[in-house]
Amino acid sequence: MIAIDGDRLLADLDALARFGACETGVDRVAFSAADVAARRWLAERMREAGLDATIDRVGNVIGRDPTARHAVLLGSHTDTVPRGGRLDGALGVICAIEIARSLRAAGAAGGAIGVDVVSFQDEEGTYLPFLGSRAFCGTLDAAEIAAARAEDGTALADVMAAFADGPEPQRLDPTRHLAYLEAHIEQGPRLETAGRRIGVVTGITGIRRFRVVATGTANHGGTTPMALRRDAGAALVRLAGWVHDRFPALGGPETVWTIGAMAFRPGAANVVPGEAEMSVEMRDLDVAVLDRMEAALAAEVAAAGRGGVAVSIERTTVVTPTAMAGDVVAVLAEAAAAHGETPVRLPSGAGHDAMVLGRIVPAGMLFVPSIGGISHNVAENTASADIVLGCAVLAEAVARLCQRLAVASR
């Protein structure tokens, strides 16, 4: 078993949380002064761990094991949402540094397979979601960077000046990077509800998001008889009810769906709604499940247009599911078992850098419990013992994976 130093890990997490500290959380959006300072600090920690560290022009901090030809890449991101938590992303990066340090201390470094560490930039999408991991994987073109702006209008190209002294964006090297592992807080309630401490992610769910609009005729709610109404709101209520009634049978056991937004226009108590709009979102690991739900929804929308109300549907977001690599999932589960834990195998309903990496390199994720399921909030937290255990399990999984990859590459 690889020994990690839990106190050192927690101290580094605390030290990182001082960059952009905000009440009990952190406000460290990509390219903010706090983010830039944190990345320079991270590069120093990586150097102390014996890694060659660079901060490239998009802000990715990458530490390479100078003693190894091949490497398992460990990491996550250190940017946050505004007024976010201290662990979302940071946990995976600090665990990666701690594991690199511990493996070196254990004399495990210098083998055929080393450990590289990364903190990707702007996973949260202040300017461009997954900016760092997409640049690293070569799936981002210059035009996207040139067009990207924050909500307040600030151009990504302008704020990138903070890292203009860095090298060209570093790229994943398929001959070097044999796998990517990411530790992260769950950002949901499943581990806590199940009373488990370790989650092994089976994949990052695909997302289909739709805007559904009903168009009827706005009319006086007192003088328009029921039979003469073209009530866009009533049509949408019926459709939303159908979604909640029918999706349980159409989805799988892990499928989630959300009607997160609903609005009637003009929206006055005494006016029959002339227009109504809602969002419908569904997430699952299985494209076939998403296809089946989308087809059923589209058929119901087509049938909903009656009584002078037209209903239209537009697909606004598509994210393809990304399965985690079977052998990485297996080694994470073995490592958890080696620590006496029975992990929960679960999909991640939130996006992560592992989704971008997982499309081109074998990838896996380990989750630790989020207290109360809370994230993207200054109240976000995880028990210290769970953080230390998560890092230890990940370290064990990395050691086992490096060993297997070394055997395989001989």
Extract the tokens encoding 368: 């630790």
How far apart are CB 29 and a second copy at their closest, in Å? 18
Residue 175 engages a second copy in binding (rule: CB under 8 A): no
Nearer to a second copy, 154 or 224 (CB): 224
Q: From the list 168, 248, 249, 410, which residue makes contact with a second copy (rule: CB under 8 A)?
A: 248
E strand residue ranges, 252-354: 256-258, 262-265, 271-272, 275-284, 310-319, 322-323, 344-348
- Measured between alpha carbons, how far is 116 from 97 in angstroms, rounded to an integer? 9
- Measured between alpha carbons, how far is 71 from 92 in angstroms, rounded to an integer? 17
Residue 238 engages a second copy in binding (rule: CB under 8 A): yes
Q: From the list 119, 126, 187, 382, which residue makes contact with a second copy (rule: CB under 8 A)?
A: 187
Q: With CB under 8 A as the contact rule, which of the stretches 94-102, 124-132, 136-144, 225-233 interacts with a second copy?
A: 225-233
Q: Let me know the angle formed at the C-alpha of 214 by 209 and 217, rounded to the nearest 5 degrees.
A: 160
Is 220 assigned a ligand-binding role in the annotation? no
Nearer to a second copy, 219 or 312 (CB): 219
State the binding string over 375-404 for a second copy (x if CB under 8 A, else -): xx----------------------------
Give SS3 for 301: helix
State the binding string over 266-295 for a second copy (x if CB under 8 A, else -): -xxxxxxx--x--x-x-x------------
Nearer to a second copy, 84 or 114 (CB): 84
Residue 233 engages a second copy in binding (rule: CB under 8 A): yes
Give yes or no for a contact between 312 and 212, defined as CB atoms under 8 angstroms apart: yes
- Measured between alpha carbons, how far is 180 from 304 in angstroms, rounded to an integer? 46
Nearer to a second copy, 166 or 216 (CB): 216
Residue 201 engages a second copy in binding (rule: CB under 8 A): no
Give yes or no for a contact between 372 and 192, defined as CB atoms under 8 angstroms apart: yes
Q: With CB under 8 A as the contact rule, which of the stretches 17-25, 150-158, 257-265, 388-396 interacts with a second copy?
A: 257-265
Nearer to a second copy, 190 or 246 (CB): 190
Other C-beta atoms lying within 10 Å of the C-beta of residue 92: 31
Quick one: DSSP state of residue 175?
T
* Angle between helix 232-250 and 287-304 (nearest 10): 150
Q: From the list 93, 183, 259, 399, which residue makes contact with a second copy (rule: CB under 8 A)?
A: 259
Q: From the list 22, 149, 176, 219, which residue makes contact with a second copy (rule: CB under 8 A)?
A: 219
Closest CA to 93 of 8, 12, 20, 172: 12
Extract the tokens encoding 392: 């230890």
Q: From the list 6, 125, 189, 305, which residue makes contact with a second copy (rule: CB under 8 A)?
A: 189
For a second copy, how many residues bind (rule: CB under 8 A)?
58
User: 3-state DSSP: the chain helix, strand, coil percent, rounded to 5?
Assistant: 40, 25, 35
- Measured between alpha carbons, how far is 13 from 201 in angstroms, rounded to an integer? 23
Closest CA to 397 of 62, 136, 102: 102
Residue 237 engages a second copy in binding (rule: CB under 8 A): yes
How far apart are CB 204 and a second copy at their closest, in Å? 9
- Measured between alpha carbons, how far is 36 from 59 in angstroms, rounded to an integer? 8
State the binding string over 340-379 for a second copy (x if CB under 8 A, else -): --------xxxx---------------------x-xx---
Closest CA to 204 of 356, 323, 326: 323
Residue 66 engages a second copy in binding (rule: CB under 8 A): no
Extract the tokens encoding 297: 């929804």
- Residue ranges for the known binding site for Zn(2+) are 77, 88, 124, 184, 376
Residues contributing to the site for a second copy (CB under 8 A)? 186-190, 193, 205, 207, 209, 219-226, 228, 231, 233-234, 237-238, 240-241, 244, 248, 254-264, 267-273, 276, 279, 281, 283, 316-317, 348-351, 373, 375-376
| Positions at the binding site | 77, 88, 124, 184, 209, 270, 283, 376
